[in-house]
Amino acid sequence: MATISRLPSGKHRAQVRKSGVYKAKTFARKSDATAWGVDIERAIEGGSSAGTIQASRDMTLADVVDAYLKQVQLGRTPRFNLERIKDRLGATPIRDLSAIHMTEFVDGRLAEGAGGVTVASDLSNLSAVLKWARAAKNIDVNTELAKEARRGLTARRIDTRSHERTRVPTQAELDRILAHIEGNDRQVIPAATIMRFAVASAMRLGEICRIRIEDINWNEKAVIIRQRKDPRRKLRNDQSVPLVGDSFEIAREAAQGRSEGRLFPYDARSVGAVFTRATRKLEIEDLHFHDLRHLAITELFRRGLPMELVAVVSGHKDWKHLKRYTQLDASDVHNALGRLQNL
């Protein structure tokens, strides 16, 4: 049974001594201290704290996250998410991390305008850190904190499911955006050229801005995309991708007079910002640069390219992931049947 004592400050300190394990924590309310004591005793009885060590008072969540980032290989997005978590919770001693901190983090992210999917992703990344801290470093930390907070999103009826976008630009919208960008004499970044390359190649903006001229095989009309995004393989996922449609000629023109270096030596975020400003100025609603990839993949299917060859261009490993980028409709079925009948 936990021992609950009232401190001069008015707070309540719970102490548990059981099976050779000692735990202690201070709470503002006696009921919270009692509940914590019960949970700790159950955990000890279940063996969940066996072999773990209590973190020192000066060990913060930021310390644990930094150690995790040094020892675990991660992609860019999880690393960015964990750095964001450090900014908000990093100063918290790891031994004091509680459900209250999780709630404050979630409320703060929602107040900033983050959606349920984004917040759930943050919590999943934090959950991985807490599990690593216990499994790899034997630190006594509640590995369920972030997981419980994620379940709390559902209880609050915050949608954490990723919804597939069906938005693709029309040709009229593309023409307006291209004309607007090319009509700006002060525009230094060749965003219109990069747009055309994206529509032809089906590549992500980040991939386009990372292409190196020395990785292009001009004879085979192909390029090696370094570290291409793959949900099942986070690192060294290099792929040889065909430069289809107009993308080959656009690449050759962009590389003219150069034999090495980035084909488009510009920051992807800056290119995306040019696109976003143009859509806002033209009052084109709900259109992202990434939607150009949706359009490009859809066009490959419309031309009759089989799924396995479209996947070579897009980099997808299975139909489930490729399908969400494909925006075919009834008219495409009728057009395909018409082409077959005319053979």
pLDDT tens for 187-196 read: 999 999 999 9
- The band of 243, judged by pLDDT with boundaries at 50, 70 and 90, is very high
H or E stretch at 217:
strand 216-217
Q: What is the residue extent of each domain of the chain? A: 3-45, 61-155, 171-341
Matching fold, domains 61-155 and 171-341: no
- Contact by Cβ (8 Å): 70, 35: no
Tell me the pLDDT tens digit for each residue of 137-154: 888 888 889 989 988 888
Q: Among 176-180, 260-264, 296-300, 331-335, where is mean pLDDT lowest?
A: 331-335
Q: Which residue has the higher pLDDT, 168 or 209?
A: 209
Q: Look up residue 58 and give its two tokens.
A: 């000066």
Class of the 61-155 domain?
Answer: mainly alpha
- Contact by Cβ (8 Å): 2, 16: yes
Mean pLDDT score across all residues of the chain: 87
Indicate if the pLDDT at residue 261 is higher than 60. Answer: yes
171-341: what fold? hpI Integrase; Chain A (1.10.443)
Tell me the pLDDT tens digit for each residue of 35-89: 878 877 766 665 555 456 677 888 999 999 999 999 998 877 888 899 999 999 9
Nearest Cα to 291, choosing from 173, 190, 209? 173
Give the per-residue pLDDT at 125. 94
Burial of 256 (0-12, 13-18, 19+ CB in 10 A): exposed
How many helices and strands in the chain, by DSSP H and E?
A: 15, 6
